[in-house]
Amino acid sequence: MCFIGLVFTKRAHKCALMMGRVAMDEKLLQARQDNNLLYDFYGSLLTAKQRHVFEMHALHDCSFSEIAQEMGITPQAVADNIKRTRAQLNKYEQNLGMVQKLQVQQELLQEIDTELAKLETNGIAINIRASLNKLLI
């Protein structure tokens, strides 16, 4: 009886660890998406070196060592550069708020889309739907 309980506990623990990894992977994926969105909006405000290092790491998935070798700097310098670049991108967002504005606009468009779906069941709003679809693309 204890053995079965132990096996269940080990399986439950292993499952919980895997779920924790999934949650961590989701957080990492969300952080990566957030960084890429910030880069899309504000990347042109960075220096050429910052852009190059950030693109190699975030977009091309190069390791710090690979970037360091190509750039002729240390991996720690690469890590510092990426950290400063992320901080700079976040500072731009705090000051300009363009990503936040985009997200609010997308939420509003989704609300409009939902309301239009209700109207379409009544045979109204077909032309409005076409215009909204152009905005959602």
Q: Is residue 111 part of a domain?
A: yes
Tokens representing 29 are 């994926």
For the entire predicted model, the pTM comes to 0.68
Q: Is residue 64 part of a domain?
A: no
Q: Amino acid identity, residue 96?
A: L
pLDDT score at 42? 97
Condensed to tens digits (0 to 9), the pLDDT of residues 89-125 reads: 999 999 999 999 999 999 998 888 888 887 777 666 6
Q: Is residue 110 part of a domain?
A: yes
Q: How many separate domains does the chain show?
A: 1
Condensed to tens digits (0 to 9), the pLDDT of residues 71-83 reads: 999 999 999 999 9
Q: What are the distances in angstroms from CA 37 to CA 19, 53, 75, 119?
A: 27, 16, 25, 33
Domain of 132?
A: 97-137
More confident residue, 121 or 84: 84
